[in-house]
Chain A
Amino acid sequence: QQQVKQSPQSLIVQKGGISIINCAYENTAFDYFPWYQQFPGKGPALLIAIRPDVSEKKEGRFTISFNKSAKQFSLHIMDSQPGDSATYFCAASIIGNTPLVFGKGTRLSVIA
């Protein structure tokens, strides 16, 4: 049973556009929701994370929107650049000592 569902599987966005990736979770006990960026052959790097006490968090061009009632959260990349082309993973966990549960990933390609 997949606890975190991520969509779309792949995404092509024009340079300067907005990239939007969505995730839905099932376990209402989750209280930590990070997004990771991974380039080919590299380990994932934390982009931004949110906890359920806020509905939105922005860091530079990256914004997480969180909807607790719908059990959904999304990543918005504003002014997308070719350098943003990577695979993005959403994840969720319960704060404390539990491992992250990852979505299946979204391959983003930003074309000029």
Chain B
Amino acid sequence: GAVVSQHPSWVICKSGTSVKIECRSLDFQATTMFWYRQFPKQSLMLMATSNEGSKATYEQGVEKDKFLINHASLTLSTLTVTSAHPEDSSFYICSARDLGLAGGNEQFFGPGTRLTVL
């Protein structure tokens, strides 16, 4: 099946710094990528949807100036957490979808990035 990678797999940073997380589709072109965050023992919460070459669509309550998303190519999307604070500590997961693949509805998830803000 299609493979999605994330980098880094974990990151620890100081409060006030910015952190960039990369999401790559390794063997397919992702027309759409999604970013989720997941707190311990909870479900995935959609943060934003990004389509290649256009601005991301953020879910209600997600600060677009704090969580910057760039989807500059069909294989790479980045999430930058700006001025991170301890409450931003979470598990961030991306997923990618190729509309041309098997009807285009299957989402392939990355392995996640554990962010800890001290």
Contact = CB atoms under 8 A, between A and B. Distances in A.
A25 to B, nearest CB: 15
A16 interface: no
B112 A105 contact: no
A26 B14 CA distance: 42
B60 interface: no
Interface stretch (A69-77, A78-86, A88-96): A88-96
B93 interface: yes
Interface string B85-116: 00000010101000100011111111110100
A6 to B, nearest CB: 8
Interface stretch (B40-48, B65-73, B74-82): B40-48
Contact of B106 (A43, A49, A102, A104): A49
A105 B42 contact: yes
Contacts of A95: 103-105
Interface residues of B, number: 27
A45 B109 contact: yes
A32 B110 CA distance: 21
Contacts of B110: 43
A21 to B, nearest CB: 13
B109 A44 contact: yes
Nearest to B93: A43
A112 B86 CA distance: 39
Contacts of A99: 34, 46, 49
A104 B43 contact: yes
A107 B51 CA distance: 32
Contact of A102 (B44, B51, B99): B44
B112 A43 contact: yes
Contacts of A104: 42-43
B32 interface: yes
Contacts of B4: 43
A16 B53 CA distance: 49
- Enumerate the 5 nearest inter-chain pairs by beta-carbon distance, A residue then B residue, closest first: A43-B109, A32-B105, A43-B112, A104-B43, A43-B111
Given A42-B111, A95-B103, A95-B105, 19 more contacts: A34-B106, A34-B107, A41-B91, A41-B114, A43-B93, A43-B95, A43-B110, A43-B111, A44-B44, A44-B93, A44-B109, A46-B1, A89-B44, A93-B105, A96-B105, A97-B99, A99-B49, A102-B44, A104-B43
